[in-house]
Amino acid sequence: MAQSTRETERKYEAPAAEDTSWLPDLTKVDAIASVVDRGTDDLDAVYYDTVDLRLVDASATLRHRTGGADAGWHLKLPLSGDSREELRAPLSDTVPDDLRDLVLSRTRGAELRPVVRLRTERHRREFVDAGGTVLGELSIDAVEAESLLAGATRASWTELEVELSESADPQLLRAVDKVLREADVKRLPGPSKLARALEETAVGAPRLPDARAEDVVAGSAGDLVLAYVEKQVRTLVELDPAVRRNLPDSVHRMRVACRRLRSVLRSYRSVLDRAATDPVRGELKWLAGELGVERDHEVLQERLDAGLGALPRELVLGPVTARLQAWHVTKSSEARTRTQDALASPRYLALLDSLAGLVARPPLRRKAAGKPKDVMAKAVLKEYDRFADRVGIALETPPGPDRDVALHQARKAAKKARYVTEPARVSLGKPVQRLGKRVKSVQKVLGDHQDSVVARAELRRMAAAAGTSGEASFTWGLLYGREQTVAGERQRELPKAWARASKPALRKALRR
């Protein structure tokens, strides 16, 4: 598996590599005690992308580089601010399979090929603190760029790059930036050498169409809904590498992005034609279901572990911990395999293509050009009414399995009612934000209740298995009773939470 590091850097204009009289004294920064010359490296990097530059358009870069201390394959993925994640793999003649998989959500299976070659003469300096700890590196790069696309052209430039070490305080970059700006060293607007190389050597290179369609009216309902859809699609695509590496909370966040997309495409059918969006919703439901197996197990495991940990030691009778651990190992392995199989499937790639097409060529309806307050308020209130009906049914259903099902249906309706408010916040402001928060409170109560229902079913199964094996089932019964108590508490909390969410004043503000 590729090694991961965090890269935090900024790039600046550099008038020359040989004469550095223009470079200010960085020891003016309090944390920097000295700047040490580390000599020169000759770097040779070939950047890979699809023929229509899908990685570049998704702010990612993949390169094969020789020279320097970190020769090999480098994949850079965007993080927040000035940071990127860099994943490295050893040198090889072809793109490593693990890196190819990590860019799959961006390439959507299109072939990777060389697009640009950069030869760089790098003059390196390290800045260190009083204790000799390296805080970062300053490099003056003389770059020769060659396009490897049709009609190859060349370009050259010199730039300054300041990169922090992983352990350095991010504030240090701002302090260095201030010293450079005071010396009239200007920051470069481009995010990478590759982006500049493409601009200067391949102006006519094929690019993906702009994400925002030309026929979307600025400030319209369609504009706001599409902006939300674009954000969720981008979130899904960017989370794919994290899910493949099983990073914490990644499966949950990707599943939520699927649900948000499904919900908004459903709620705003007056804006986006359902003939085009319903098939996409169906595939999003499939993906969320595949991811849900792993996520639901994560939630259940945490809940059962917490319940067992809360019991006094003398009440834990028999091999309860061992049985719980064996269950977790088996179920988590099965769930992980299911997630990996889904992301490796042609069906997933087809969904990614559909989402890209939806954003690039949105199936706008007539009301998409309408005033957002009217269109979006109507959608919010319609989804709220569905939610209210579900809650009413649940509250009227006698306690027992039927009520559990009704409460679960109300929970799903709560999510839809909450998600429909999110794209509407720009146009409807605080009233819709308040409604969304109140609905979320109800959803939280219903969610904890449903988790208890699922936990009780699993505890009952484990208790039966323990009894069949001749083990004491006392502890399983205690855990079951604890979950039963939680479920009762949540049912008693629901009327109060619903009363707050169903106040007529919340909806009246949206009808003005």
pLDDT at 20: 84
Which residue's entry shows tokens 């109060």? 496
**Residue 431 CB-half CA count within 13 A:** 17
- Convert 333-363 into a string of H (helix), E (strand) and C (coil): HHHHHHHHHHHCCHHHHHHHHHHHHHHHCCC
Give the separation between CA 257 and CA 284, rounded to whole angstroms: 9
- Report the pLDDT value the prediction gives residue 192, as an integer from 0 to 100: 83
Whether 233 and 258 have beta carbons less than 8 Å apart is answered as no
Between strands 83-89 and 113-128, the pairing is unpaired
Q: In 245-273, which ranges are continuous DSSP H helix?
A: 250-267
The C-alpha atoms of residue 194 and residue 159 are separated, in whole angstroms, by 13
Superfamily of domain 213-366: CHAD domain (1.40.20.10)
CB atoms within 10 A of CB 433: 14
Going by C-alpha positions, the residue among 105, 96, 109, 100 that lies closest to residue 51 is: 109
Low-confidence ranges of the chain (pLDDT < 70): 1, 17, 191, 203-215, 512
CA-closest candidate to residue 190, choices 221, 157, 168: 157
Q: pLDDT above 70 covers what percent of the chain?
A: 96
* Beta pairing partners, 84: 7, 78
Contact 413, 502 (CB under 8 A): no
Q: Determine phi and psi for 26, rounding to 5 degrees.
A: -80, -10
How far apart are the C-alpha atoms of 395 and 403, rounded to whole Å? 8
Cβ proximity of 413 and 388 under 8 Å: no
Task: Report in angstroms the alpha-carbon separations of 393 from 181, 408, 454, 495.
Answer: 64, 11, 21, 13
CB-CB neighbours of 339 under 10 Å: 23
∠161-140-191 over CA atoms, to 5°? 30
User: What's the fold here for domain 3-201?
Assistant: Hypothetical Protein Pfu-838710-001 (2.40.320)
Predicted pLDDT at 199: 86
Alpha carbon separation from 94 to 10, 55, 91, 99, 210 (Å, rounded): 30, 17, 9, 11, 30
Q: How many CB atoms lie within 10 A of CB 251?
A: 25
| pLDDT on residue 361 | 93
Q: To which H or E segment does residue 66 belong?
A: strand 61-66
Query: Which of 272, 302, 325 minimizes the C-alpha distance to 455?
Result: 302
Contact 267, 420 (CB under 8 A): yes
Q: How high is the pLDDT of residue 214?
A: 57
Written as six digits, the tokens of 115 are 């697009």
Q: How many residues does the chain have?
A: 512
Amino acid at 123: H
Cα(335)–Cα(341) distance, rounded to whole angstroms?
10
Model pLDDT, residue 17: 67
How many Å apart are CA 458 and CA 74, to the nearest integer? 44
Amino acid identity of 246? N
Q: Check if the beta carbon of residue 246 is closer than 8 Å to that of residue 336.
A: yes
Residue 120 pLDDT = 96
pLDDT in tens, 58-86: 999 999 999 998 999 999 999 988 889 99
**Do 171 and 29 meet the contact criterion of CB atoms below 8 Å apart?**
no
Q: What is the pLDDT of residue 215?
A: 65
Per the prediction, the chain carries an average pLDDT of 93
Partners of 7 in beta bridges: 84
**Residue 209's pLDDT is what?**
46
Classify strands 61-66 and 72-78 as parallel, antiparallel or unpaired: antiparallel
Helices (H), 361-424: 372-396, 401-421
Q: Rounded to the nearest 10 degrees, what angle do helices 425-468 and 221-244 cross at?
A: 30
